[in-house]
Structure 1
Amino acid sequence: MLVPVILSGGAGTRLWPVSRSAYPKPFMRMGDGQSLLGKTLARALRCADAAPVLTVTGRDYYFLTRDEYAQAGADLDRLPFLLEPAGRNTAPAVVLAALYARDHIAPDATLLVLPADHLIRDNEAFAADVGRAARLAQDGWLVTFGIRPTHPETGFGYIRMGEAIAAPAPRRSRALAPEADAVQECVDCTCAAEATTAAPLGRAVQAFVEKPNTQIAEGYVASGEYVWNSGMFCFRADTLLEVAAQVCPDVLAAAQACHAQATSHESPVEYAREAFLVQPDISIDYAIMERAPRVAVVPATFDWSDIGSWKAMSSLDAADGEGNRVYGQAVLVESANCYVQSQGRVVAAVGVQDLVIVDTGDAVLVSHRERAQAVKQVVERLRADNHSAASVHQTVHRPWGSYTVLEDAADCKVKRLTVKPGHVLSLQLHHRRSEHWTVVDGVAKVRIGEREFLLNRNESAYIPMETVHRLENPTNTDIHLIEVQCGDYFGEDDIVRLEDRYGRVASR
């Protein structure tokens, strides 16, 4: 049984201002309108057949991820979630997934670990390579996928490949009839000799190599013996746990304790925060793959990009005659080799070259293409200044829907709210602001103090400070409202939640 494990999250720094900590790269929309997470799910479902697909993600991303899966038409009943209460590295995430698979799916389930922020377009070649990796995993190998380098990249780790690994000899089993001594051949092979002459499934890993400088990377590419480390893996759950017990017992022990203290063993599985934070903050590469005795690499035949920068993003699609790529509304005059992305507003560029220009409505990035990696320094400065643009967009997603900030002034704040069918905001009050709600479309169920009533389109309600209130959508279509806040402070930490369907704490 092949069980994909999707790892989804991230800090949202290298692709700011589109990617932010509250809406990281997996949720970014590509040119076809589909998110990277949605594309990863589609690949996973294609490989999984009827098996479940696990998703390991942060608790804050749970409802957003469910919405993404629902929009893709996926059956949520076969998509268990493992929810992390805080950010951690990949080793804890993968070991926890292996423990879950061992206890709830099958100890010998083959796990296919897929980061949610990779772009792969050739799904047929991907499925074929996964098939090779799965065969190696069933034979006890820990498998990674290597990407044939197209240039001397200094931002990736490399894998030095060793000897080829042939397909294992076909298994033979006793005939079902008890009186027969004959053996029954594997239906996929006719003899062991054919297996030995078949194309190898992969190659043994000689070494994992850190990110090189340009000169060393050029040598790696020229040798043909090195591939980029993609961060995708395939192994049996029981094999991974056995190897972890040998090479990183501290990681395994901490994960086992965390697994045992999970608040629920039904999806979504939530881990106790204290037990989760005890786990070492270490990648699966360092903790297991680089120390394991039998590690193989399948050189990928599929295309691959981790879209790690705006320069990489700008290289995904064909350019026009001047080398420009434009998404959204833009006017370029006497400009060349530029990437422009705009959400709503018109961007004009005159007499410029080799620029990345990204406009999200509340923030604008202008960078030289070769310096696009340095955008993370912008995010660091925004965080140091406690600026909201480091983490959230104008449109902020919530479990019940979303809101878009239309105006944020010293004396008022105006939002447009969208509440999904059947969802309800928390029962809450505010100490430092009053609110006015006006329904733009739909019918809302409102509680203000002890009163409950319906608010129809073009009707308004007033909520004084210190007054308990709640908003609900009792219909089967979205409702849209304008919320005007008046007071001297409009931060989200002025929300005092008394009841909440989604388990959020008062200050969230």
Structure 2
Amino acid sequence: MNIMILPIIMAGGTGSRLWPLSRELFPKQFQKLYGETTMLQTTILRLQGLECLPPLVICNEEHRFIVAEQLRQIGQLDHNIILEPIGKNTAPAIALAAIYATKYQDNPELLVLAADHVVLNESAFRTAVVQAQAHVQQDKLVTFGIIPHAPETGYGYIKYNPEAGEQNGFEVQQFVEKPDLATAQAYLDSGNYLWNSGMFAFKAQSYLSELERHRPDIYNACNEAMRNVDMDLDFVRIDKKSFSDCPAESIDYAVMEKTTKAVVIAMDAGWSDVGAWSSLWEVSDKDKEDNVIIGDVVTVDSHNNYIFAETGLVATVGLENMIVVQTKDAVLVAAKDKSQEVKRIVNHLKAEKRQEYSVHREVYRPWGKYDSIDSGHRYQVKCITVKPGEKLSVQMHHHRAEHWIIVSGTAKVIVDGTESLVTENQSIYVPLGATHCLENPGKVDLEMIEVQVGSYLGEDDIVRFEDRYGRA
């Protein structure tokens, strides 16, 4: 009898080295950086062909509606999103999922994956997962090591003995930190080291038992946090106070480096964690000049570049080994061999309290999205898209009035109790201080232009009275 695998998808993190595309409130795992689906969706779809249950996704609370929408798009939304009120690294996150899973199943087999990895050879990946199951059923804690093809300094490594193993699984001898170039080359030459992929497989109780043995503080805090969960729409909310007391620690430090039950499966599946623009260049399709071209790009005598244009034309002349990324509100130009340093730009923007480090000009909401087209003294212009059947909160503003112009679709608008249907080429005025709400009652997207006028135009000037998404 085949045993069903329960995938645990870790979808936290900000991917700051892929700025300006990846930002705190819309990081890389929710974007289409490689292929036709987002990285989160691709991670889940990669499991097709394996005997899997619907996945459990762990994410930050502020990303909950993005995750829910992306799961809905691929038919995988089923009250299966665990919200972390505070990021505490991978050991507690996996513990939350394991504890939650055991409430409904008898010691399920977990496959722990990150939502932001690229796997070019999905067949080889699935073969490695099947190989891991034999060890999981013996209560081993399996990690997946990647057969290295270069002296990579951006990954941790796993030391193992390739001559001592059975059923494609090998005893872990040592976990080692990210090395310098000379050390990485020595690892590669030895043939005894694998890249640490951060993917795992084990029974829920096997992991929890080892966590309790080696880090009872984490184990107890997670158990307490899961004692009284709150089911909210498709979200599992844990106790914030209990979880805030939990130490932050990676699964490697908390468990895998200490346990005697660790086994590594060597995998050669074209894996990358795309932790930097140079990594994304390596796994992406290239033109005859070895350029990765995305968007409206014209190149002359340019080679070995990654060039991304979100809006408008990007042109290069004589460019070599560079990263050029243009978004609606920022442009990054970096030497490809320095792409790991992009994080320093993000830290600088954060220190300067510039919003570009955290949000895009286009912002996603549970009802749709808005794009901040223009702004100036006392005015701001947004393009707003509301999905069919969705409704914004009943709200008011202390400091601004709003003019709404419908571009396409139909809007149901209530202003101070008066209801109106507003259609294409029509407009409506919402005075300062008026209680109002907006709904799309139709079958197609509602698109409208909103012009805000007032003394203060911040997003925090919203008083919500009712909200179907629990934000009131």
1:455 equivalent in alignment to 2:430? no
Q: Say which of 28, 31, 53 aligns to 2:31.
A: 28
Aligned to 1:76: 77
For residues 401 and 315 of structure 2, the distance between their equivalents in structure 1, rounded to whole angstroms, comes to 40
Q: Say which of 400, 407, 413 aligns to 1:440.
A: 407
Structure number, greater radius of gyration: 1
Aligned to 1:161: 160
For residues 291 and 234 of structure 2, the distance between their equivalents in structure 1, rounded to whole angstroms, comes to 46
For residues 304 and 462 of structure 2, the distance between their equivalents in structure 1, rounded to whole angstroms, comes to 47
Deviations 1:177-220 (A, max 9, x none): xxxxxxxxxxxxxxxxxxxxxxx331010010111111111110
Q: Say which of 294, 308, 325 aligns to 1:341.
A: 308
Aligned to 1:195: none
In 2, are the aligned partners of 1:82 and 1:269 still within 8 Å (CA)? yes
For residues 48 and 498 of structure 1, the distance between their equivalents in structure 2, rounded to whole angstroms, comes to 45
For residues 182 and 206 of structure 2, the distance between their equivalents in structure 1, rounded to whole angstroms, comes to 38
1:33, distance to aligned residue in structure 2 (A): 2.4
1:61, distance to aligned residue in structure 2 (A): 1.5
For residues 317 and 420 of structure 1, the distance between their equivalents in structure 2, rounded to whole angstroms, comes to 32
1:115 equivalent in alignment to 2:114? yes
1:93 equivalent in alignment to 2:93? yes
Does the residue aligned with 2:230 lie in a helix, a strand or coil?
A: coil
Aligned to 1:212: 179
Aligned to 1:475: 442
Q: Say which of 64, 73, 91 aligns to 2:66.
A: 64
Residue ranges of structure 2 left out of the alignment (5+ in a row): none
Aligned to 2:203: 236
In 1, are the aligned partners of 2:412 and 2:420 still within 8 Å (CA)? yes
Q: Say which of 465, 468, 472 aligns to 1:501.
A: 468
In 2, are the aligned partners of 1:136 and 1:201 still within 8 Å (CA)? no
For residues 120 and 196 of structure 2, the distance between their equivalents in structure 1, rounded to whole angstroms, comes to 18
Amino acid in structure 1 at the alignment position of 2:115: A
1:456, distance to aligned residue in structure 2 (A): 1.4
For residues 499 and 265 of structure 1, the distance between their equivalents in structure 2, rounded to whole angstroms, comes to 16
For residues 424 and 212 of structure 1, the distance between their equivalents in structure 2, rounded to whole angstroms, comes to 51
Distance 1:46 1:268, change over 3 A: farther
For residues 271 and 34 of structure 2, the distance between their equivalents in structure 1, rounded to whole angstroms, comes to 16
Aligned to 1:182: none
1:114, distance to aligned residue in structure 2 (A): 0.5
Amino acid in structure 1 at the alignment position of 2:91: A
For residues 70 and 267 of structure 1, the distance between their equivalents in structure 2, rounded to whole angstroms, comes to 10
- Of all paired residues, the percent bearing the same amino acid is 41
Amino acid in structure 2 at the alignment position of 1:106: D
1:432, distance to aligned residue in structure 2 (A): 1.2
Bigger shift: residues 378-387 or 219-228: 378-387
Correspondences of 1:125-164 after superposition (within 5 Å):
125-162=124-161, 164=164
Amino acid in structure 2 at the alignment position of 1:387: R
For residues 201 and 110 of structure 2, the distance between their equivalents in structure 1, rounded to whole angstroms, comes to 6
Deviations 1:384-415 (A, max 9, x none): 22211111112100000000111022221101
1:325, distance to aligned residue in structure 2 (A): 2.0
1:242, distance to aligned residue in structure 2 (A): 1.1
Does the residue aligned with 2:460 lie in a helix, a strand or coil?
A: helix
CA RMSD of aligned residues (A): 1.5
Deviations 1:442-480 (A, max 9, x none): 111111112122111111111111111110111222111
1:131, distance to aligned residue in structure 2 (A): 0.6
In 2, are the aligned partners of 1:44 and 1:53 still within 8 Å (CA)? no
Amino acid in structure 2 at the alignment position of 1:147: I
For residues 434 and 393 of structure 2, the distance between their equivalents in structure 1, rounded to whole angstroms, comes to 13
Aligned to 2:283: 316
In 2, are the aligned partners of 1:439 and 1:455 still within 8 Å (CA)? yes
For residues 56 and 45 of structure 1, the distance between their equivalents in structure 2, rounded to whole angstroms, comes to 20
For residues 481 and 255 of structure 1, the distance between their equivalents in structure 2, rounded to whole angstroms, comes to 45
Aligned to 2:368: 401
In 1, are the aligned partners of 2:15 and 2:275 still within 8 Å (CA)? no
Structure 2 length-normalised TM: 0.96
1:294 equivalent in alignment to 2:261? yes
In 2, are the aligned partners of 1:261 and 1:275 still within 8 Å (CA)? no
Distance 1:350 1:308, change over 3 A: same
In 1, are the aligned partners of 2:378 and 2:457 still within 8 Å (CA)? no
1:164, distance to aligned residue in structure 2 (A): 3.1
Residue ranges of structure 1 left out of the alignment (5+ in a row): 167-199
Q: Say which of 212, 221, 224 aligns to 2:188.
A: 221
